[in-house]
Chains A and B, each alone.
Chain A
């Protein structure tokens, strides 16, 4: 009996904490003044909030259905892996598109190349060449060398 009361308390705490964290992340995204400041809220707060909610769901189904339940752990792991990657790509996109800086978020960008901050041209990879085409060209070049 006490076990279920404790589990219920933990579940309620995790749910409320998850909701507060998710709301906090979205509030930060709404209220902060700059794109680079706004990036902080969703990448940290919302990820932690959804982690709490998924943990609560996992605990609930593990206790009520009396079998270990790991599907939510899969979603949690996936989201925790992809959120930093998304934040990195969004920051690179913002730098590339010259999103307006607020004076309070200005800083040096030592680790970016010129094309990352939009100062230089984007380096394009060389056009892919088909191997059969180069082989044929080399063969024809060899044949011309033989004739001439």
Chain B
């Protein structure tokens, strides 16, 4: 049962990442692409956690935490750049 649920979740998250990539490529404006990139990193965290569940190891959590923090900082930096024209004033 757990294996089936894992495969279902993996398939759904990979499909979600495919939709994000479509929006990233075809977004009509810059904030759309930025939103797609933000969602893409959140989904990639879920994918890494699922990989850790599948392989039964704990070494991927640091990678997930690192992706979470760097993704947030990157999104904030691009938002600041688009809003104010400068990242650190």
Given known contacts A12-B1, A79-B68, is B39 in contact with A26 (CB within 8 Å)? Answer: yes
Output the least CB separation between A68 and chain B (Å). Answer: 13
Number of A-B contacts (CB under 8 A): 164
Within 8 A of A (CB), among B34-79: 34-36, 38-39, 42-43, 45-46, 49-50, 52-53, 56, 58, 61, 64-65, 68-69, 72, 75-76, 79
For A50, what are the chain B residues with a Cβ–Cβ distance below 8 Å? 42-43, 45-46, 49
Interface centre among A25, A50, A60, A69 (most CB of B within 10 A): A50
Number of interface residues of A (CB under 8 A): 56
Q: A25, B31: Cβ atoms under 8 Å?
A: no
Q: B43, A92: Cβ atoms under 8 Å?
A: no
Q: B16, A15: Cβ atoms under 8 Å?
A: no
Partner of A22, one of B28, B43, B72, B85: B43
- A36 to B, closest residue via Cβ: B31
Given known contacts A71-B65, A90-B79, is B16 in contact with A26 (CB within 8 Å)? Answer: yes
- A99 to B, closest residue via Cβ: B29
Q: A30, B19: Cβ atoms under 8 Å?
A: yes
Partner of A16, one of B8, B19, B34, B68: B8
CA distance A22 to B28 in the complex (A): 23
- B30 to A, closest residue via Cβ: A97
Size category of the B interface is 35 or more
For A79, what are the chain B residues with a Cβ–Cβ distance below 8 Å? 42, 45, 68
Whether, in the assembled complex, A137 has its beta carbon less than 8 Å from a beta carbon of chain B, the answer is no
CA distance A72 to B80 in the complex (A): 29
Residues of A at the B interface (CB closer than 8 Å) are 8-9, 11-13, 15-16, 18-20, 22-23, 25-27, 29-30, 35, 38-39, 41-42, 46-47, 49-50, 53-54, 56-57, 60-61, 64, 69, 71-72, 74-75, 78-79, 82-83, 85-86, 89-90, 92-94, 96-97, 99-100, 122, 124-125
Q: Which 5 A-B pairs have the closest CB atoms?
A: A19-B12, A19-B9, A12-B5, A26-B16, A42-B39
Not counting A25-B39, A89-B83, A90-B31, a sample of 4 additional A-B residue pairs whose C-beta atoms are within 8 angstroms of each other reads A41-B39, A46-B43, A75-B64, A93-B30
